[in-house]
Amino acid sequence: MKKEPFSFDLTTPGFIPSHYDNHIQRKLSNMKGQYLNHEAYEAMLSEKDLLLYQVYELERPQIEGELLHGISIVHPGKVGNEFFMTKGHYHTVIDTAEIYYTLKGQGYMVMETPEGDCAVEELKAGSILYVPPRWAHRSVNTSSEENLVMFFAYPGNAGHDYGTIETQGFRKLVVEKDGKPEIVDNPRWALPEVG
């Protein structure tokens, strides 16, 4: 891993970094149980294990003071009427923020805290989104044809906790209704028991 300063470019039309260390690909099969309509999910999966989103990461030491960063690309599409989205996660060190700069496309960031607060912010090219410490976050692509591309950065020691969201989902879903995106309550969401 580099000790010296380094640069890379985001100048291709798809914003794929000119240099990166890790390329993570999440397919439909990696999202079992995450979409509300399980029947639609199984039917889609039996046809093809589609690529839903990709992350290009630059490697840095996973310690305080460093900034992990890269590009996330969510492809367009739906499972049932629910738009393609990332798994979504809390940070393991929960008091750590994340910042996003949307480079292309449109969608929403769905967020919530362990205390039960929730928020949904619009994503569009040229917008910066600040996800404060304690907020789980998931990005959703609401375009029917364009990728949602974002630059992200977060503290090196943050870590990822996917389990909480995998178990309970997010409080809000982003679905298509009458040809437009709509934010609705997740009927399967339940506030975790406070021990």
Residue ranges binding its own copies (CB under 8 A): 2-11, 17, 58, 60, 64-67, 69, 93, 95-99, 101, 109, 111, 117, 119, 121-122, 125-133, 135, 137, 151, 153-156
> Quick one: 40 or 153, whose CB is closer to its own copies?
153
> Quick one: 49 or 64, whose CB is closer to its own copies?
64
> Quick one: 74 or 150, whose CB is closer to its own copies?
150
Least separation in angstroms between CB 183 and its own copies: 14
> Quick one: 45 or 99, whose CB is closer to its own copies?
99
CB 173 within 8 A of CB 82: yes
Least separation in angstroms between CB 17 and its own copies: 7
Least separation in angstroms between CB 127 and its own copies: 5
Hey, is 174 helix, strand or coil?
Answer: strand
> Quick one: 40 or 93, whose CB is closer to its own copies?
93
Least separation in angstroms between CB 103 and its own copies: 9
Dist CA 101 CA 152 (whole Å): 7
* 150 exposure class (CB count in 10 Å sphere: 0-12, 13-18, 19+): buried
Instruction: Give the contacts of 170 (CB within 8 A, at least 6 positions apart).
Output: 88, 110, 112, 118, 136, 138, 186, 189
Least separation in angstroms between CB 6 and its own copies: 5
Best CA proximity match to 142, nearest among 161, 116, 122, 126: 122
* Region at 98 (left for phi over 0; alpha for psi -120 to 50; beta for the rest): beta
